[in-house]
Amino acid sequence: MSVVGLLFLLMGAMAVGSALLVVTTARLVHSALWLVVTLGALAGCYLLLGAEFVAWVQILIYVGAVVVLLLFALMLTRAPTGVQTGLTTGNRVVAAATAGVVGLVLVTVVVAGFGGARVSVDEESVGSATSMGDAIFRHWVLPFEVLSVLLLAALVGAIVLSRGRASSGEETP
Amino acid sequence: MSTEPFLVLSALLFTIGAFGVLIRRNAIVVFMCVELMLNAANLAFVTFARHHGNLDGQIAAFFVMVVAAAEVVVGLAIIVTIFRTRRSASVDDASLLKY
Amino acid sequence: MIAVHGSVLAQEIEIESPNIAYSAIYPILIVFGVALVGVLVEAFAPRPRRYVVQTVLAAAGLGLAFVGTVLVAGDLPETQNGLARGGIEAEGALAVDGPTLFIWGAILLLSFFSVLLFAERRLESGVTAFAGQAAALPGTEAEREASTRGLEHTEVFPLMLFAVGGMMLFPASNDLLTMFVALEVLSFPLYLLCGLARRRRLLSQEAAVKYFLLGAFASGFFLYGIALVYGYAGTVTLAGIDGAITNRVGGDGLLLAGIGLMAVGLLFKIGAAPFHAWTPDVYQGAPTAVTGFMAACTKVAAFGALLRVFYVAFGGAQWNWMPMMWIVAALTMGVGCVLTLTQTDVKRMLAYSSIAHAGFLLTGFVGVQAATRDSDDMTSLVAVMFYLLAYGFTTLGAFAVVTVVRDSSGEATHLSRWAGLGKQSPVLAGVFALFMLAFLGLPATSGFMAKWAVFTSAWAGDAQLLVIIAVLASVITAFVYIRVIVLMFFADPVGEGPTVAMPSVLTVVTIAAGVVVTVALGVAPQPVLDLAHQAGEFVR
């Protein structure tokens, strides 16, 4: 087995194991921490696939920003750090059965997807920042600009929901 | 090494995420499970980009990350707001919240 | 790596500037531009002026964008086969064609009247129906202070405009990635707006949480579907996917799973069964103006996108997805009409009725698909577009009526409170009865023409069984609508009975627009049907 294969096995096992822990752990804060491991392992997978830019953005945005925000939210909602009961709903069995079927179908679909056609991942990468930037600002420029509008809308909305009484300037929270 | 194992990993993560959304009660953890699903989709995008030898999939993954960043802002604002309201004394309406 | 980057920087990088035809897409840019100006107004205008400035700005922007849409429609280029008019713009991101412009027109008109509902101030004695200060906890000193100072969130106008921009982008997207971004642009502001009700705040916030979590879950499915379709076709453009299906590139499992997962995301937005669970709770909890806006405009945008994706990209595989859509349509009508029967809250009843209408629209969606040259057949595209316009105005009007019927705690949404409304205010009850009859599909209302159009196209498209189910469903829901009318006119009021607050001219105009369109499309539908015919097919 190649080096890439070994690395993939490592990353894949880490990703699946930590994802299962995100879903099942009885401590809320641990969920967020295990999510970091999953996201990091996925960044590794992106590197193996040659998507250099996406891998670093994954680390920056997801691990750096999203998970930190999630931890803040857990803190603000006073999530207890200890073991808790009653975190899962009663329909465990049904959910597990549904998820099992969906997973089986998806795995079959992606394995059968190309009828055994194989593309090696051991070659040179294409996803450098240069090529990505070139594609984004030429071909994908409209959706990219719309994304900036999306970020602004999210920002405005979040401020509306959470801003205290500092609005007219005479009082601060 | 072929691209198939990456796709299997992606399908597994998607399934785990969906399972989590169905069973977890805490809104923030449910949201984390949605993030898992988005990440599974990203892995599929990047893998297919490799398979087809074009950049579209990687661009998609990048865009999804930006969307996810905005989503976390919106989601946490809503969740934290309702947490503050529910903790306050005024519970004047019946709860229709499932989670 | 550093070395690589260094060498790249050293080179002369030449980036071709993208080719954007602003003359074709400026209605969208106007809407986003006005939204941005609105954000600046929030930052710089003095508080007392903001309400007027924002209202005028939003209404004027939407009006201007509508005029722009009409002008763009005036000089659409013909395509080679003569069935479609328009072109692919913005580096392949948007398809500006006849159906797109019809849908833009519908969304802009409906959102113009929604702005008027948003701006209604007289019903809450001088402030809008949105929370004075969303961060202040209900029932606390801070909230009382906010309401005595007459605080209000005028940010709702830019937020709404962002949503409108997303709604315009969604059905015009010519690739799946733009479509995903558009879906999120239209959704996020709506999630936030849902939680901003002035009265019954907890219910409103629970609606927002529920809508957000389920919406994010559904968009996860939509996204994974896009990934699988991309894996199948190797491209995300609709034309490219169509080409891959026509050339049978292999890997049908990927395609089918992708179509299925994408359908989940789209059907969720439409509110079709079995993905409808959010609809009643969110419609009930959200501020009524927002509910009206969502019910009318989101449905138009989401159906536009559904039509484009399934006709343009997946048209070649229609024998694969048609059975699924049949089942969904039948199930949606069934769930919608049976559960409408059991509702006791006006807003929930209208929500279930919107689910039933989604089923009727889906019936049209599986009808005759393609137009042929020189034919006056009712294509499903024409039928669905007509239905969307007719239903949008009726439902917006109905929710506008709901804002007016009040008691001491705000809107009196429980149906029992509506007993005897006909004696209290015959005009208002008559208007609501008209809307009910339009939902029911009585002749001489827009609902009849819309249902006729949809059923004709479905019947001609060999979906006779579905048409029969749809007619049966209409008969069952007729019971509900007639029960409401009987309740309003012939039942005795309970206790003091409902109060009809006198709204300002804004709400009156919205209700009047609903009435006018409902009657006009019922009596003389031909001009609008012709317009929908002229729009032609989607460009590919």
Contact (CB<8Å) B37/C206? no
The answer to the question of residue A46 being in a domain is yes
Selected residue with higher pLDDT from C199 and B7: B7
The answer to the question of residue C39 being in a domain is yes
H-type helices in C425-503, by residue range? 426-440, 446-460, 464-490
Contact (CB<8Å) B42/A79? no
| Chain B residues 17-36 with CB within 8 Å of chain C | 17-18, 21, 27, 30-31, 34
DSSP notation for C13-57: ---PPP---HHHHHHHHHHHHHHHHHHHHHHHS-HHHHHHHHHHH
Contact (CB<8Å) B90/C230? no
Instruction: Provide the number of CB pairs (under 8 Å) joining chain A to chain B.
Output: 235
Contact (CB<8Å) A62/B39? yes
Domain that holds residue C481: 20-534
Please report, for residues A109, A113, B5, C219, the alpha-carbon distance to residue B8 in angstroms, rounded to integers and kept in the order given: 9, 11, 5, 21
Q: How far apart are CA C377 and CA C485, in angstroms?
A: 36
| pLDDT confidence of residue C374 | 52
Contact (CB<8Å) A156/C159? yes
Please state whether C248 falls in left (phi above 0), alpha (psi between -120 and 50) or beta.
Answer: left
Tell me the shortest Cα–Cα distance from A115 to chain C, in angstroms: 7
| pLDDT confidence of residue C149 | 76
The answer to the question of residue C11 being in a domain is no
Find which of B52, B59, B64, B79 to mutate to test the A interface (most A CBs within 10 Å of its CB). Answer: B59
Band of pLDDT at residue A115, cut at 50, 70 and 90: low
Give the residue-averaged pLDDT of C208-219. Answer: 92
Band of pLDDT at residue A48, cut at 50, 70 and 90: confident
Name the residue among C44, C146, B76 with its Cα closest to residue A173: C146
| pLDDT confidence of residue C502 | 83
In total, how many domains does chain C have?
1
pLDDT in tens, C284-299: 989 999 999 999 999 9
Q: Is the pLDDT of residue C527 over 50?
A: yes
| Chain B residues 64-93 with CB within 8 Å of chain A | 65-74, 76-81, 83
Structure token digits, residue C180: 């995903």
| pLDDT confidence of residue C82 | 67
Q: How far apart are CA A157 and CA C159, in angstroms?
A: 7
Q: Is the peptide bond between A80 and the residue preceding it cis, with omega within 30 degrees of 0? A: no
* C191 interaction partners in chain B (CB closer than 8 Å): 74-75, 78
| pLDDT confidence of residue A118 | 60
pLDDT in tens, C237-275: 999 999 998 887 777 888 899 999 999 999 999 989 888
Other residues' Cβ atoms within 10 Å of the Cβ of residue C215: 25
Q: Across the strands, what pairs with C94? A: C89, C173
Please report, for residues B64, C32, C264, C312, C505, the alpha-carbon distance to residue C222 in angstroms, rounded to integers and kept in the order given: 12, 25, 7, 17, 41
pLDDT in tens, C357-409: 999 999 988 876 555 545 667 788 889 999 999 999 999 999 999 988 887 77
Q: What is the percent of chain C with per-residue pLDDT over 70, rounded to a whole number? A: 95
Q: How far apart are CA C155 and CA C142, in angstroms?
A: 20
Give the residue-averaged pLDDT of A13-34. Answer: 90
The answer to the question of residue C9 being in a domain is no
Mean pLDDT of chain C: 87
Band of pLDDT at residue A171, cut at 50, 70 and 90: very low
Contact (CB<8Å) B42/A42? yes
* B56 interaction partners in chain C (CB closer than 8 Å): 177, 230, 235-236
The answer to the question of residue C8 being in a domain is no
What is the distance, to the nearest Å, from the Cα of residue B22 to the centroid of all Cα atoms in its chain?
13
Mean pLDDT comparison of B3-7, B10-14, C125-129, highest-scoring range: B10-14
Closest Cβ opposite residue C139 in set B77, B88, B97: B88
Report chain B's C-alpha Rg in angstroms. Answer: 18
Selected residue with higher pLDDT from C8 and C328: C328
* B96 interaction partners in chain C (CB closer than 8 Å): 203, 206-207, 210, 281, 285
Q: Is the pLDDT of residue C222 over 90?
A: yes
Tell me the shortest Cα–Cα distance from B51 to chain C, in angstroms: 8
Would an 8 Å CB–CB cutoff place A41 in contact with chain B?
Answer: no
**For residues C484 and C419, is the Cβ–Cβ distance under 8 A?**
no
Q: Across the strands, what pairs with B24? A: A88
In total, how many domains does chain A have?
1
Give the residue-averaged pLDDT of A97-112. Answer: 84
The answer to the question of residue C15 being in a domain is no
**For residues A167 and C43, is the Cβ–Cβ distance under 8 A?**
no
Band of pLDDT at residue C503, cut at 50, 70 and 90: confident
Tell me the shortest Cα–Cα distance from B90 to chain A, in angstroms: 17
Q: How far apart are CA C194 and CA C186, in angstroms?
A: 13
Find which of C169, C178, C205 to mutate to test the B interface (most B CBs within 10 Å of its CB). Answer: C205
The answer to the question of residue A62 being in a domain is yes
The answer to the question of residue C312 being in a domain is yes
Please report, for residues C321, C345, C390, the alpha-carbon distance to residue C366 in angstroms, rounded to integers and kept in the order given: 10, 32, 19
- Return the DSSP state at C406: E
Give the residue-averaged pLDDT of C515-529. Answer: 91
Q: Of A86-95, A110-119, C25-34, C50-59, where does mean pLDDT reach its minimum?
A: A110-119
The answer to the question of residue A39 being in a domain is yes
Band of pLDDT at residue A117, cut at 50, 70 and 90: low
Tell me the shortest Cα–Cα distance from C50 to chain B, in angstroms: 24
The answer to the question of residue C7 being in a domain is no
| Chain A residues 111-150 with CB within 8 Å of chain B | 111, 113-114, 118-122, 126-127, 131-132, 135-136, 140, 143-144, 147, 150
Band of pLDDT at residue C1, cut at 50, 70 and 90: very low
Q: What is the percent of chain C with per-residue pLDDT over 90, rounded to a whole number? A: 47
Name the residue among A160, A15, B59 with its Cα closest to residue C226: B59
pLDDT in tens, C450-489: 999 999 888 888 888 899 999 999 998 888 899 989 988 8
Q: Of C42-56, C128-142, C305-319, C378-392, where does mean pLDDT reach its minimum?
A: C128-142
- Return the DSSP state at C493: P
| Chain A residues 48-107 with CB within 8 Å of chain B | 49-51, 53-54, 57-58, 61-62, 65-66, 69-70, 72-74, 76-77, 79, 86-89, 91-92, 95-96, 98-100, 102-103, 106-107
Domain that holds residue A14: 1-82
Other residues' Cβ atoms within 10 Å of the Cβ of residue C365: 29
Band of pLDDT at residue C90, cut at 50, 70 and 90: confident
CATH code, domain carrying A43: 1.20.120.1200
H-type helices in C234-345, by residue range? 238-246, 252-270, 278-285, 288-293, 299-308, 318-341
